[in-house]
Amino acid sequence: MRKCLGVLIVAGAIAVCAEAEEATDVFGFQKFFKTKEGSYSWDSRHWANGNARSLANWAGDAQDPTQWTDDRSSDGGGFYVDGQGTMQMLGSGPRFHINGQQSWATNKQQFQNVEYTGYFKRDALGGENYGGMVVGVRSGALGHGSSGGNNCDAHTYYARFRNDGKWDFEKEWKHPGSYYRSTSGVGHQDPLWGGAVLPVDKWIGMKYIVYNKDASTVRLEVYIDSTTNATPPGKWELAGVAEDSGADWSGASYGVATIDGCSYTDAKAAILQAGDAIVMRSDNDHPYYKYVSVREIDPTALFEQGEDVSSSSQGSSSSTSNLDYSSSSENHGQSSSSVNPLPSSSASYSDYSSSSMYSGPNSSTSNLDFSSSSVNLLPSSSSKEPVPTAIRRTYRPSLENVPVRHFDLLGRPAEKDAPQRIYGK
């Protein structure tokens, strides 16, 4: 999509054609938010450069043009890239980091307000219940038990489509302690597949969006594409949403309120700062990933509902990196308030407005007012593919249709069940 702009020059009027950001990513999948101007993005196009390769023993990927691929696995099993666009996780504890602060990388990026998109396929039954499609943002690259690192720097928000068929958000301040929540509240995990486990041999898409709503509140949104088999532009449906302003969602084991041994002590504080890395991980299983992209976004700039995603070309971004994806021979060693589920019928929600504190480099985007926004609950797909039971609506990003929920007036979950232990990292 291109937009032409008339500009008056001394010599006369000339037409200048400025390219606007495409409404789809480099693989043709729908974007919800626009990319932050001046930022660098990452995607997995280099997995499809025709060169099959094993990335073992923490070697990284010399054919990643950003040089951000960072293997932080618990063993040396690493990953296998088939050269046709797919990466498989190997070993007992795969940890694939997209580390925008690699010391040898030409361009560097920290991740704060993020839109992650990717597709996952479970290869077989088994693995840990808490494994599956697990994606973390705002993470400290050396904060997860890495040599030379500091576990106090973990600070990560995860979204999980778990092997046991549940979904949740997980908050981690100091590794390995963490605690979870879902739309049902803190200490809850919601079923995603009607009580069944995560399907095998099925491409499942996750779109995970995390951004600072204001100076004290982080908003997390996770969407699923369970029906298109990874076909662009995808069919994104809301799985869950939560907000964290530091009131009752702990980032420590068992949901305790304090953390020892770090410069900070408040386990319930919101993770407001940017991180070095995006994390993809699992445990004791070997899933596949493809069509992965990560962008730093402008959270005030939604793509409008009328922008056509079906006709958008693949390969456009407002990112400043122009990368060569050919083969390379180079080698380098809340209030965490209860968020009530949307009803099945259409509804109108209010009491939400965008923060006036966003003042990013995208000066052409004004602060947006989402007050009294109307949420249109669209009918579900007629596809015969099973749709997760947590799905409430199809998301169509626009200024009039934003994912807004009412919160508990008391500022805490409606149900206060006993804390549940998270059985491992």
First-to-last alpha carbon distance for the chain, in angstroms, is 43
Of residues 29, 386, 32, the one with CA closest to residue 235: 29
Confidence of residue 176 (pLDDT cuts 50, 70, 90): very high
344 compared with 24, residue with greater pLDDT: 24
Q: How many angstroms separate the CA atoms of 144 and 130, rounded? A: 17
Q: Is the pLDDT of residue 1 over 60?
A: no
C-alpha distances in angstroms, 30 versus 23, 115, 362, 391?
6, 11, 20, 18
Query: Range of 91's domain?
Result: 23-425
Check which CATH number belongs to the domain holding 99 and give it. Answer: 2.60.120.560
Is residue 8 in a domain? no
User: Which residue type sits at 313?
Assistant: S
pLDDT at 333 over 70: no
Question: Would you state the pLDDT for residue 142?
Answer: 82
Residue 231 domain-assigned (yes or no): yes
Asked whether residue 383 is domain-assigned, the answer is yes
Burial classification of residue 364, based on how many CB atoms lie within 10 Å of its CB (0-12 exposed, 13-18 middle, 19 or more buried): exposed
Percent of the chain scoring above 70 in pLDDT: 67
Q: What band does 141 get if pLDDT is binned at 50, 70 and 90?
A: confident
- Pick the residue with more confidence: 144 or 67? 67
Residue 97 phi, psi (nearest 5): -105, 135
Choose the weakest-confidence range: 193-207, 255-269, 367-381. Answer: 367-381
Residue 12 lies in a domain: no
Q: In 10 A of CB 419, how many CB atoms?
A: 14
The Cα–Cα gap between 314 and 396 comes to: 20
Q: How many helices and strands (H and E) does the chain possess?
A: 0, 23
Lowest mean pLDDT segment, chosen from 306-315, 344-353, 393-402: 344-353
- The answer to the question of residue 253 being in a domain is yes
Distance in angstroms (rounded) separating the CA atoms of residues 221 and 209: 5
Domain assignment present for 273:
yes
Residue 6 lies in a domain: no
Confidence of residue 353 (pLDDT cuts 50, 70, 90): very low
Domains of the chain: total: 1
- Inform me whether the pLDDT recorded for 137 exceeds 60: yes
**pLDDT for position 308:** 56
Task: Evaluate whether 376 touches 397 at the Cβ level (below 8 Å).
Answer: no
State pLDDT tens for residues 355-390.
322 233 333 333 333 233 332 323 333 344 444 544
